[in-house]
Structure 1
């Protein structure tokens, strides 16, 4: 009986330890508030080889979340609906979004760190997680939802 239990426990441990996660759209996002101009203040995470890469990725994640997923965590003030409702729009307009989200790309016009508070600077050491060769950082950003929507309408990605 003990051998059977021990064997089952070892098999369960092995199965759990080899499980992999789909990392395409797995990042944490939390709504912290909505400004009068319609922009949304978010707490978002990014993963990279160093702090700079992780912060850059977090900004991309913030804009991508507002565009394609909507915000479902945090305060209830944020718009839970994504800007782009079209199914698989990111794949359909892949050429457009590859240029839009490239490093130093146009997405930076719609995300700012205006709301990055001093307390976050001290908390970053606690919130930094090292896993293998990557670093995970949480930052506070503001995403201009209305300007993003206007840009996509002007570029014929969205229709009025």
Structure 2
């Protein structure tokens, strides 16, 4: 009886340890506000997931822009504009061709991101979570919200508010 109990206990411990290793890559980190600049830009901490560090950093940039456009920033300091730029329901699907081109690798989204607020030490020690299949990186970015809004108005994705 003792041998069966010890064997079951051992299997339970081994199973829990191996299961805990994979949770970091599957956890969804939310973009959070770190501050707002006087030019209308927002400093955010965004997270990205990819097969290597470079892919994860690019995905973090895309996630920061996507959250500003479609979700608004709910986490972190309350001074960030919590409202999204696009209020239209299902706008990402409606303007799918536009946003696929906008968010393509090397696409226009890069014109609205600045890494000016990231310090040299932060670049070397970016928050990193590693899983066997992927890497998750946290990145401090500045989203040029006012320029992004102007671009979306020019491209007739949103209407200019009076």
Pair in the same fold by TM > 0.5: yes
The 1-side partners of 2:157 and 2:62 are apart by 18
Q: How many residues are matched?
A: 140
TM-score by length of 2: 0.80
Partner of 1:61: 63
Whose Rg is larger?
2
Partner of 2:101: 99
Detail structure 1 runs of 4+ shifted over 4 Å in the superposition: none
SS in 2 for 1:46: strand
- RMSD of the TM alignment (CA)? 2.1
Alignment of 1:6-155 (within 5 A): 26-124=28-126, 127-155=127-155
The 1-side partners of 2:46 and 2:155 are apart by 27
The 1-side partners of 2:132 and 2:145 are apart by 35
- CA displacement at 1:123 relative to structure 2: 3.2
SS in 2 for 1:57: helix
- CA displacement at 1:159 relative to structure 2: 1.0
TM-score by length of 1: 0.81
- CA displacement at 1:122 relative to structure 2: 4.6
Q: What are the ranges of 5 or more consecutive residues in structure 1 without an aligned counterpart?
A: 1-5, 18-22
Contact 1:27 1:61 in 2 (8 A): no
The 1-side partners of 2:105 and 2:60 are apart by 12
What does the per-residue CA deviation read over 1:3-49, in whole Å, with 9 as the maximum and x for residues that have no partner? xxx9xxx9xx9xxx7xxxxx8xx442110100111000001110111
